[in-house]
Structure 1
Amino acid sequence: MSLYDDKPWLARYASGQPSEIEVEHDNAVDMFAAAVARDPEGDIIRYFDGRITRRELDELSDAFAAGLADAGFAPRERVAVYAQNVPQFVIAQLGTWKAGGIAVSVNPMNRERELELVLQDSGASVLVCLRGLYREVARNVVAGTQVRTVITTSELEHQTRNDQRLFSGVDGAPCEGAVDMAEVLERYRGQSAPEVSLGPDDVALLTYTSGTTGPPKGAMTTHRNVVFNAQTYRDWIGIGSEDVILGVAPLFHITGLIGHVAVSLLTGAPLVLMYRWDPAVTLETIREEEATFTVGSITVFIALMNSPGAKKEDLASLTKIYSGGAPIPPSTVTAFQKTYGHYIHNIYGLTETTSPSHGVPLGADAPVDPATGALSVGVPVYGTVVRIVGEDGEDLPAGEVGELVTSGPQVVSGYWNKPEETAHAMGGGRFRTGDVGYMDADGWFYLVDRKKDQINAGGYKIWPREVEDVLYEHEAVREAAVVGVPDPYRGETVKAFVSLRPGATAEPEELIAFCKQRMAAYKYPRQVEVLDELPKTVTGKLLRRDLRTREQQRSTAT
């Protein structure tokens, strides 16, 4: 008997093979064209008091594509987009596709060395960036790369509110030596995009991995990947043109690219952008725009809970809430639901799976494993096969811990210019995630941790995630990250780093004792350090690697 025979709601999501799933459009440009045809005058982007309709976005992206072509841009060349959550990001990405190119998303927090790495690795011939980023970073880098054209733009455009909480100190003056994006759009507006051929297997995006476990690699995300997982968001969560998408995830990240931009282009639902993340601005925006859906890191929702003056009615419209990219402590889901009345649904995926491979169906509560306290990341989404395998590569039975290996239409075609890494991670059409977890007897999946994060204390294996989940149960703890540090007796021991809720106090000894009462003797942290803020990626993922490096440097110094 199948695990899903007596669970029809699970069977709906877990059944099927990749070949059985219909990808409705050959490419992301056709996907958007269908939305324009359905309702050209509906909003597609909202940026403070600015509005861009579907017809206008179609015209603006045509103009961008025509400008690229006139400058000698050829199909399959790369355009790097180095910007925050502004409308120009979407215009440039869609315009790049219309010109037959590949959009390269660049983390706006990148500095010279990091930006140069992405530009060199991708071979981008065009760089689109905010003016401030050009002055501070990019102009010191581009001369040594293949970039022929730099197009700059301002975060002040497409709106007039100029909220000083976000825009204080922003210089909107044009940059010398760069092309102004507004001038390009004005000059070429009304012209058609060049005639290009885009197939499902053509690369749409180079999306660079976060580098939490090593140097970033450019995942080659195809148009089929983009369209398929835009459909997944739409159908799994029930997103339609009447929804309003709140853009809290950075657009350069795969969550923002698919869970915000792609699903908006597919459904026609307006995407609300806020330049950069600010809890107070976000709460106001939810109320003003009556946002209904968002997906972001759990740190976003923790910040909203701790925002001064936040009220239940602030999030009344936001009924479809998903979180991915970082582990979710069950206690946080409970606290958020108590505060706002809405349940945070888990969703799981990686850059290499074009965002989700698993999710908790809307309206369902994820189970919590009583043995580990882990919150389930859901069940595999449409047409996706996920296996739990041991060190020998063989399938493991339900309940046993192994590596998650994923197959499906969302798995990218490989890493840019890295055939060996591609063969290792994606050989045989199966992506080895590097994440460790298990499936229970009911078909729910749970993550334990990254393989490389496991701590070995005197022969006892400890997963940081389990210790972190216990720390999150303490009323004073806002965030927690656990790493292994050198220990003369055990080889390695457990150290926890925590930040505290506003106004809360807790001594390290108190937190150690709290964990000791709730965990096996070999698991609880022997050291706790309280920090104002824990290091995170721009997407909110806690950087254990940075904490380990700091501890290693301390050890070396002594």
Structure 2
Amino acid sequence: MNKPWLAEYPEQIPREFSLVEKPLQSYLTDAAEKYGGKTAIHFMGKELSYSEVHEAALKFGSYLQGLGIEKGDRVAIMLPNTPQSVVAYYGILYAGGVVVQTNPLYMEREIEYQMKDSGAKVMLTLDILYPRVTKVMKETELEHIIVTAIKDCLPFPKNLIYPFIQKKQYGIVVKVEPSETIHLYTDIMKRSAGGLAEPEGFDFAEDLALLQYTGGTTGFPKGVMLTHQNLVANASMCDIWLYKCRKGEERVLGILPFFHVYGMTAVMVLSIMQGYTLILLPKFDATTTLKTIQKQKPTLFPGAPTIYIGLLNHPDLKKYDLSSIDSCISGSASLPVEVQQQFEAITGGKLVEGYGLTESSPVTHSNFLWDKERVKGSIGVPWPNTDSVILSMETGEPLPPNEIGEIAVKGPQVMKGYWNRPEETEQTLKDGWLLTGDVGYMDERGYFFVVDRKKDMIIAGGFNIYPREIEEVLYEHPAIQEVVAAGVPDAYRGETVKAYVVLKEGASLTEEELNVYARKYLAAYKVPRIYEFRKELPKTAVGKILRRALVEEERVKLEEEEKLS
């Protein structure tokens, strides 16, 4: 097929490249040999060298094998961005296991579902999350829980002070007693790094490195099977795209969570592969982030629009020096042009928008950072070794430029399939093409544009939120007769969750009561921010609730408000 975008590539970006077929964890081994004494991770004042991270990962992997983890077994990580999350990720791979990234915001119901679906045997989690995990342990295949704490990787005296801060912030201090099934991360780190057996029969294209959970437009999250090839390929593409970045020298701001595929690939995996220094923050706080940028001077800052917007709207923004930032690729949601322009003006660096999906590890398209004028509103062009096409939604045939259809992609970063879901895999992968479900078009030069997101999925603050999951929870409330969740426009989050509720006759329920109920069963970012009580909901002739009609109502309402203002 004709690939017009290749003519747009600057000379520094190859049209194709060859992959070295070796396991993902071998890049940490290589980095430890080449950059042993260099700082791999900076975390709240604590620094770990590449040699230290490598040794810790070997200890973790050896311990897992001692617990019975064999090649292909799933091991879950339920942590924010901390040194332990990096150590465990590579330790699991050294042991031959498959990483299952679990959002630390998940409540018991969500943890239980993911552990049951993945069949994970071991989980590493934080002390303050430990009670949630133990409540569901008996209902899953989890045999062991490894517990760590933020203080475990803090320097003195922060490690002594932090428990008091934690008690004030969360109201609890969890004391964990080790047993045959409960293990302490600190105890593992006191052990020898020896005794690790290298898994046999490695297959670069077939062996899984990661089960990354996502969801469709309906139903519950699915485990996306990502192989060593998928992740090595996408991180390598990212390195090629960032051709002005210097191996072993860049400093990367790690705010994007590693339990999100974009943060995992474009921040953690890329940094380890290239010998960069990871500056980790466990959560996004605008003031902390600005202070960190000024003090630690990151050069590479992958992020999401809400992060950049949060910084730009900080009242003391002008007091901070952000000039160290050289390049940023924004993902997870559409990047407003005004945000791009303002952020570039403040930092002097480059900020461009990319595109991808969990099913593609995740990046498939991006705008050029340097040497090319950016195309307004475009998600950019396909990355090296990546093909993309617009398919007719009626016939499935490729469409010519400027005609709207479904975006499909093909490349070595495209998933192996969905975990234990062969029918859904078959529906999404067609002859090697990944059908994204996103609607868009390509112009004559090969630049792609997204017209509409997946039909029902809500993208709020970079998180993918699936309406049915929210509806399932709210439907269990005894006062609710009907409910539908939808994404409505939000200036900060891109979209936010709104729930439209019809109460049972004679029932009473306030917005506050419903919000308290929802927070018991849903991660905070999934909880509706707006509730609207109605007597009835719009439906089709056969009784199906018309979610899109409600979304359209919100769009019209917003347009009317803008006209009046």
Contact 2:290 2:320 in 1 (8 A): no
2:112 is the alignment partner of 1:116: yes
Which residue matches 2:387?
Answer: 385
2:33 is the alignment partner of 1:37: yes
Q: Secondary structure at the match of 1:226?
A: helix
Give the TM-score taking structure 2 as reference length: 0.77
The match for 1:80 among 76, 81, 105 is 76
Which residue matches 1:235?
Answer: 240
Q: What displacement does 1:496 show? A: 5.2
Per-residue CA distance 1:101-158 (angstroms, 9 max, x = gap): 00000011110111111100000000110110112x1111111100000001001221
Contact 2:5 2:381 in 1 (8 A): no
The match for 1:104 among 83, 94, 100 is 100
The match for 2:183 among 138, 160, 179 is 179
2:314 is the alignment partner of 1:318: no
User: Where does the alignment leave 5 or more consecutive residues of structure 2 unmatched?
Assistant: 468-485, 494-517, 539-565
Q: What displacement does 1:452 show? A: 1.1
Which residue matches 1:62?
Answer: 58
Counterpart of 1:217, as a letter, is K
User: Where does the alignment leave 5 or more consecutive residues of structure 1 unmatched?
Assistant: 369-374, 455-463, 469-480, 484-493, 502-534
Contact 1:404 1:433 in 2 (8 A): yes
The match for 1:149 among 144, 148, 165 is 144
Q: 1:404 to 1:74 in 2, by over 3 A?
A: same
Contact 1:14 1:381 in 2 (8 A): no
Work out the CA distance in 1 between the residues paired with 2:48 and 2:290. 22
Q: 1:495 to 1:353 in 2, by over 3 A?
A: closer
The match for 1:419 among 415, 418, 422 is 422
| 1:355-434 alignment runs, 5 A limit | 355-363=362-370, 364-368=372-376, 375-391=377-393, 392-434=395-437
**Superposed CA RMSD:** 3.2
Q: 1:422 to 1:409 in 2, by over 3 A?
A: same
Work out the CA distance in 2 between the residues paired with 1:139 and 1:102. 22
Which residue matches 1:225?
Answer: 230
Contact 1:130 1:152 in 2 (8 A): yes
Contact 1:246 1:294 in 2 (8 A): yes
Runs of 4 or more off by more than 6 Å in structure 1? 162-166, 540-543
Q: 1:5 to 1:132 in 2, by over 3 A?
A: closer
Work out the CA distance in 2 between the residues paired with 1:133 and 1:42. 32
Which residue matches 1:556?
Answer: 536
Per-residue CA distance 1:346-385 (angstroms, 9 max, x = gap): 11111000021001122244312xxxxxx11110001000
Work out the CA distance in 2 between the residues paired with 1:380 and 1:34. 29
Q: Secondary structure at the match of 2:129?
A: helix
Work out the CA distance in 2 between the residues paired with 1:496 and 1:423. 31
Contact 1:345 1:361 in 2 (8 A): yes
Q: What displacement does 1:8 show? A: 5.0
Q: What displacement does 1:211 show? A: 5.9
Work out the CA distance in 1 between the residues paired with 2:294 and 2:381. 32
Which residue matches 1:529?
Answer: none
Q: What displacement does 1:36 show? A: 1.6
Contact 1:4 1:11 in 2 (8 A): no
Per-residue CA distance 1:372-414 (angstroms, 9 max, x = gap): xxx1111000100001001211011111111111100000100
Q: What displacement does 1:288 show? A: 1.6
Work out the CA distance in 1 between the residues paired with 2:114 and 2:90. 20
Q: 1:210 to 1:500 in 2, by over 3 A?
A: same
Per-residue CA distance 1:266-318 (angstroms, 9 max, x = gap): 11101111111111111111122110112121100000101121128521111
Segment drifting more, 153-162 vs 299-308: 153-162
Q: 1:339 to 1:265 in 2, by over 3 A?
A: closer
Contact 2:105 2:524 in 1 (8 A): no
Which residue matches 2:515?
Answer: none
Contact 1:5 1:11 in 2 (8 A): no
Work out the CA distance in 2 between the residues paired with 1:94 and 1:404. 33
Which residue matches 1:513?
Answer: none
Counterpart of 2:451, as a letter, is V
Contact 1:219 1:351 in 2 (8 A): yes
Work out the CA distance in 1 between the residues paired with 2:369 and 2:169. 41
Q: 1:555 to 1:206 in 2, by over 3 A?
A: farther
Q: What displacement does 1:335 show? A: 2.6
Contact 1:345 1:365 in 2 (8 A): no
Q: What displacement does 1:159 show? A: 1.3
Work out the CA distance in 2 between the residues paired with 1:500 and 1:199. 44
Which residue matches 2:447?
Answer: 444
| 1:153-168 alignment runs, 5 A limit | 153-160=148-155, 161=158, 167=166, 168=168
Counterpart of 2:447, as a letter, is W
2:20 is the alignment partner of 1:24: yes
Percent pairwise identity: 32
Work out the CA distance in 2 between the residues paired with 1:434 and 1:546. 24
2:208 is the alignment partner of 1:203: yes
Q: What displacement does 1:334 show? A: 2.1
Counterpart of 1:237, as a letter, is L
Work out the CA distance in 1 between the residues paired with 2:81 and 2:365. 26
Q: Secondary structure at the match of 1:246?
A: strand
Q: 1:547 to 1:442 in 2, by over 3 A?
A: farther
Segment drifting more, 230-239 vs 41-50: 230-239
| 1:377-526 alignment runs, 5 A limit | 377-391=379-393, 392-453=395-456, 497-499=489-491
Q: What displacement does 1:451 show? A: 4.1
Counterpart of 1:205, as a letter, is L
Which residue matches 2:121?
Answer: 125
Work out the CA distance in 1 between the residues paired with 2:118 and 2:288. 35
The match for 1:255 among 253, 256, 262 is 262
Work out the CA distance in 2 between the residues paired with 1:315 and 1:393. 47
Which residue matches 1:280?
Answer: 287
Segment drifting more, 306-315 vs 7-16: 7-16
Contact 2:6 2:15 in 1 (8 A): no
